């Protein structure tokens, strides 16, 4: 396409659609580009997606959104990480914080000293004791990280739990105030240019025909533009990520306002618990070939901490992705581009990185084939890295039951098998291009599932056990005493950002 971008059309008004509208209206302010968003209130949104990753703070900040105003508007709470209960065995507990562990010693990563100390028979305690945010979370406290140069022990990130519907409304207000035009109508068909197959216009139920130069498909699982109109195939990853459905239900707030998500392993899947200011979001994700759905609902309802405020809502999905992120004059964001399952709350984060990618290559003066290729390459790699990280949660599990046995025995993607092998050999924590999860996140699950290096790093071999013990003990005690100070999570919110 060589013509300049004058009319940009977004199909879908879920989290993806309104994030796209907000980002585009901000980025394209002062230009002639007309932005329209089509959504159908008759179709509705998927209505889930309440836990996020720390990058959302950057997204909001890039739009000039005040963090506390956002928290109040979306009934949000703070998220320091996720507690995985029962994944490594019935009563196991793995806390995945958004932070590093400890601090390097003499330039060698912390974990190498930790494993060396353990091999020497020293009392090293548990890995989470070296993470300030994990220790805060364990006491239901919250504090915002202070920039203390030179103190890596206080360096951590946080994310949010929020009401996704309220967030979409918040962003809608933002985008409409910046000129985005909303059309409430249902797409019935797509008009394509017979010469090159590009999308020319969307035909809507009311008879309206919306012409555009570029289209962002945020239409949810059906992927109406990228998948249906442009026939970009779906790549099914359910042999690696076998869950294919969920029941979601809201409940009264739990007695304690936790600063983390709970992910509780169950017989045929797992259950989430997401604390918001005004309610708790709950859901059970399951693999239908391994468990009867009536059991899933029973377990979900039995596991609620507060009374349910509605009935469970059933959602079906297939894990995988569209083979391309960008085809002709269309890009897909959100569920229209694929879905890896709710574990680790990566979907909204992927909307955000997809938007950054689109903004980097936005075809203001025409579409450039090299840019499209690069956008597709990076989108593909990013999703594969996340896929591998999610599979790690399953493939070394320590549970009984058909799903869990299947996952222990399934063949792994080569990229993941190689990564695990590198860690098992000498504790290499490999950071590859476009990794969404940092080495500390991988370390969390290696340690949680008992995957350990066979040999020490040569850099730690000659250190004296006393020196190692002293250094590790000092880190633990600094973190433990600092983590006792802050307010409880509930008190922090009441003081600074109650809805």
Whole-angstrom Cα distance, residue 167 to residue 173?
A: 10
Q: Which two tokens stand for residue 451?
A: 């995957």
Size of the site for ligand FAD (CB under 6 A): 38
Active-site residue 79, yes or no?
A: yes
Q: Which is nearer to ligand FAD, 17 or 259 (CB)?
A: 17
Q: CA–CA separation, 331 vs 372, rounded Å?
A: 10
- Does the footprint of ligand FAD cover residue 227 (CB under 6 A)? no
Q: How many CA atoms lie within 13 A of 72 on its CB side?
A: 11
Stretch that binds ligand FAD, among 11-19, 25-33, 116-124, 133-141 (CB under 6 A): 11-19
Residues 145-174 that bind ligand FAD (CB under 6 A): 164
Task: Determine which residue in the list 187, 251, 355, 358 makes contact with ligand FAD, applying CB under 6 A.
Answer: 187
Please select the residue that binds ligand FAD; options are 35, 263, 265, 348, rule is CB under 6 A.
348
Considering only 160, 317, 423, 449, the residue that binds ligand FAD (CB under 6 A) is 317
Query: Is 79 annotated among the ligand-binding residues?
Result: yes
By the rule CB under 6 A, 39 interacts with ligand FAD: yes
How many C-beta atoms surround the C-beta of residue 260 within 10 A?
31
Nearer to ligand FAD, 347 or 444 (CB): 347
Q: Smallest distance, Å, CB 63 to ligand FAD?
A: 17
Site for ligand FAD in 47-76 (CB under 6 A): 48-52
Q: What's the CA gap between 117 and 286, in Å, rounded?
A: 39
Candidate list 342, 354, 427, 448; residue touching ligand FAD; CB under 6 A: 342
Stretch that binds ligand FAD, among 102-110, 290-298, 341-349, 470-478 (CB under 6 A): 341-349
Least distance to ligand FAD, CB of residue 235, Å: 17
Q: Verify binding: residue 135, ligand FAD, rule CB under 6 A.
A: no
Does position 46 bind ligand FAD by CB under 6 A? yes
Q: For residue 254, what are its two tokens?
A: 């739990």
- Residue 9 annotated as lining a ligand binding site: no
- Judged by CB under 6 A, the stretch of 34-42, 352-360, 361-369, 382-390 that binds ligand FAD is 34-42
Out of 79, 157, 324, 419, pick the active-site residue. Answer: 79
Per CB under 6 A, the list member of 21, 22, 28, 45 interacting with ligand FAD is 45
* Residue 65 C-beta: closest distance to ligand FAD, Å: 18
CA pair distance 303, 26, nearest whole angstrom = 42
- Using rule CB under 6 A, residue 220 touches ligand FAD: yes
Question: Is residue 315 near ligand FAD by the rule CB under 6 A?
Answer: yes
Which residue positions form the known binding site for 7-chloro-L-tryptophan? Answer: 79
Question: What residues act catalytically?
Answer: 79
List residues near ligand FAD by CB under 6 A: 11-17, 38-40, 43-46, 48-52, 164, 186-187, 218-220, 224, 246, 248, 283, 315, 317, 334-336, 342, 345, 347-348
Which residue positions form the known binding site? Answer: 13-16, 79, 335, 344, 348
Which residue positions form the known binding site for L-tryptophan? Answer: 344
């Amino acid at each position: 396409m060589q013509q300049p971008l004058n009319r940009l059309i977004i199909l879908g008004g879920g989290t993806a659609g309104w994030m796209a509208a907000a980002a585009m209206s901000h980025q394209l302010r002062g230009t002639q580009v007309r932005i329209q968003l089509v959504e159908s209130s008759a179709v509705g949104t998927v209505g889930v997606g309440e836990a996020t990753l720390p990058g959302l703070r950057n997204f909001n900040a890039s739009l000039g959104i005040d963090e506390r105003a956002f928290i109040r508007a979306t009934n949000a709470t703070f998220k320091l990480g996720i507690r995985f209960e029962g994944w490594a065995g019935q009563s196991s507990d793995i806390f995945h914080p958004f932070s590093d562990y400890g601090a390097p010693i003499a330039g060698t990563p912390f974990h190498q000293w930790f494993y060396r100390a353990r091999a020497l028979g020293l009392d090293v305690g548990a890995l989470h004791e070296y993470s300030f945010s994990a220790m805060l979370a364990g006491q239901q406290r919250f504090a915002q990280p202070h920039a203390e140069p030179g103190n890596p022990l206080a360096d951590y990130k946080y994310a949010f739990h929020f009401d996704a519907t309220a967030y979409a409304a918040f962003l809608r207000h933002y985008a409409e105030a910046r000129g985005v035009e909303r059309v409430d109508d249902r797409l019935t068909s797509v008009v394509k240019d017979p010469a090159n197959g590009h999308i020319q216009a969307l035909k809507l139920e009311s008879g309206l025909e919306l012409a555009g130069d570029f289209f962002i498909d945020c239409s949810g699982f059906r992927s109406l533009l990228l998948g249906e109109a442009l026939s970009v195939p779906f790549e099914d990853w359910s042999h690696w990520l076998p869950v294919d459905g969920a029941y979601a239900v809201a409940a009264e707030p739990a007695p304690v306002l936790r600063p983390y998500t709970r992910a509780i392993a169950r017989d045929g899947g797992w259950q989430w618990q997401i604390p918001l200011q005004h309610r708790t979001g709950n859901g059970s994700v399951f693999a239908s070939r391994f468990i009867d759905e009536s059991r899933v609902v029973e377990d979900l309802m039995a596991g609620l901490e507060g009374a349910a405020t509605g009935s469970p809502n059933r959602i079906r999905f297939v894990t995988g992705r569209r083979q391309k992120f960008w085809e002709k004059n269309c890009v897909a964001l959100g569920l229209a581009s694929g879905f890896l399952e709710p574990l680790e709350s990566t979907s909204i984060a992927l909307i955000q990185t997809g938007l950054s990618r689109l903004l980097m290559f936005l075809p203001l003066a025409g579409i450039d084939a090299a840019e499209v290729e690069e956008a597709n390459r990076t989108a593909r790699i990013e999703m594969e890295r996340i896929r591998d990280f999610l599979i790690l949660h399953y493939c070394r599990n320590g549970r009984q039951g058909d799903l869990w046995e299947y996952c222990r025995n399934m063949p792994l993607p080569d990229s993941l098998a190689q990564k695990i092998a590198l860690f098992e050999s000498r504790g290499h924590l490999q950071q590859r291009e476009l990794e969404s999860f940092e080495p500390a996140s991988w370390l969390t699950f290696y340690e949680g599932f008992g995957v350990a290096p066979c040999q020490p790093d040569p850099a730690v071999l000659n250190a004296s056990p006393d020196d190692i013990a002293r250094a590790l003990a000092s880190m633990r005690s600094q973190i433990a005493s600092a983590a006792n100070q802050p307010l409880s999570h509930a008190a922090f919110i009441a003081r600074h950002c109650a809805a």
